[in-house]
Amino acid sequence: MKWSENYKVKFHDTNSNEILSPSHVLKFMQETGMLHMIGCRPSYEDLLNENKALILSSIRVNLYSQIYAYDEITVKTWACGSRGFTTTRSFEIYKGDELVAESNSIWALVSVTDKKLLRVSDVDFSNFEPEEPLVLDSPAKVRIPNELKLNLVGEYSVRYSDIDLNGHMNNTNYPDLFFNYLPKPEAKLIKSFAISYINESKVGDNLKFYVAKSDGKYYMRSVHDDGRINAEVEFLTESID
């Protein structure tokens, strides 16, 4: 069963080109997913009351047309079933009848206290009536070529305003943070992006950002001071004329 919500893009959701930022693309999608969970149950808070949480593992977003300030959009989402410790969710964004974005995402069910993986079958998600996931041109998980040498481009210290209810940096903050470290981000349109979330980051954590370009795509990685990989990202962009 697909769940649908209508929104009007605010000016403050957009960047210097009045284009919806990549983080706000995720925010609209995930807000719709949260409302879907509230409407069908269990909600996100229902899971937290059972010491459980769905944590985003990886996501791919394809943008077919840019979304601008004050555009009216419809966001659709649906559950796509589960396997073992993970469940899949798809999204679509429309401006009128025009499909402007699609996304597939993979979520892990974990214990809030010890972060151990839990089987999705242990929770009754039958109210969501799963449908087939979208078929996109690439998988949700980022695959950085092994031979690619990434170069250090900056560092960032995680702040209180970055974190969410789970105590780590909210996954919707990552796209904008990474995009900031691309060369001349103000001159780029995003055609697609993908993120793999590998190790969480908390307040005070210092992250180093690395980037390289190959086959027209930017590959990026954030790394903790102890060497643990925080996240990996892929951007496909084009120049603004």
Residue type, 65: S
Q: What is the mean pLDDT of residues 13-19?
A: 96
pLDDT tens string 29-63:
999 999 999 999 999 999 999 999 999 999 999 99
**Is a pLDDT exceeding 90 seen at residue 165?**
no
- Ordered by where they begin, the domains of the chain are 1-141 (3.10.129.10), 142-241 (3.10.129.10)
Q: What is the mean pLDDT of residues 165-175?
A: 94
pLDDT score recorded for residue 11: 97
pLDDT tens string 62-106:
999 999 999 999 999 999 999 999 999 999 999 999 999 999 999
Pairing of strands 217-224, 206-214: antiparallel
pLDDT tens string 132-147:
999 999 999 999 999 9
- Give the CA count within 13 Å in the CB-facing half-sphere of 24: 18
Confidence of residue 166 (pLDDT cuts 50, 70, 90): confident
Instruction: Look up the pTM and report it.
Output: 0.96
pLDDT score recorded for residue 156: 98
Q: What is the dihedral of CA 174, 66, 142, 197, to 10 degrees?
A: 20
Q: Report d(CA 61, CA 193) in Å as an integer.
A: 5
**Is a pLDDT exceeding 80 seen at residue 241?**
no
